Amino acid sequence: MKPIRLYVIGAAKTPFFKDAAAHYLVALRRHLPAEEIVVRDGKAADAARRKDEEGKALLARLSPRDTVIVLDEHGRGLTSRELAAKVSACIEDPGRVPCFVIGGAYGLSQAVLDRADLTLSLCPGTLPHELARVVLYEQLYRAAAILAGAPYHH
């Protein structure tokens, strides 16, 4: 089975977010192969230029056949079961690789948002990017548990 790819801008720096993300990534991998790809933070001081730098680095790693799901506050909210159905559809398509993308401190560039096959929101508000990583990994673990019939989701 092909792995889900998890593209994140910058390494987690806050210890409790780093530990929580690692915990849920291990849990997710019990059900589905998952690969975390850390893209280096942009260096520009200006937020727009920094997002553009990070966006170019992200887009360089994506292939045209990838199913790109980006996290953005303006995205669509899904229930756990709806997310499980999306994950299932992505992993069952033999020609495509599901790729979840979390931006950095300033979000994602317009070019990355334009490349998205789906824009997903984890909540109506804005989350710090390190917390968004933890929440996404937990939600993907929950989705994988639903698909596996495991008791985690109740």
pLDDT tens across 118-129, in order? 999 998 888 888
Q: Is the pLDDT of residue 151 over 90?
A: no
Q: CB pairs under 8 A, 24+ apart, for 15-20? A: 17/130, 17/131, 17/133, 17/134, 18/130, 20/134
Q: Report the residue count for the chain.
A: 154
Q: Please give the pLDDT value at position 101.
A: 97
Q: Please give the pLDDT value at position 77.
A: 94
Rg (the chain; Cα; Å): 15
131 or 1: which carries more pLDDT confidence?
131
Give the DSSP letter string of 89-146: HHHH-TT--EEEEE-BTTB--HHHHHH-SEEEESSSS---HHHHHHHHHHHHHHHHHH
Q: Which residue do the tokens 């303006």 mark? A: 74
Q: What pTM value is reported for the model?
A: 0.93
Confidence of residue 153 (pLDDT cuts 50, 70, 90): low
Lowest mean pLDDT among 41-45, 109-113, 131-135: 41-45
Q: Please give the pLDDT value at position 60.
A: 96
Q: How far apart are the first and last CA of the chain?
A: 26
Alpha carbon distance 138, 60 (integer Å): 27
Q: Please give the pLDDT value at position 34.
A: 96
Alpha carbon distance 89, 83 (integer Å): 10
Q: Which domains does the chain have, with CATH numbers?
A: 4-148 (3.40.1280.10)
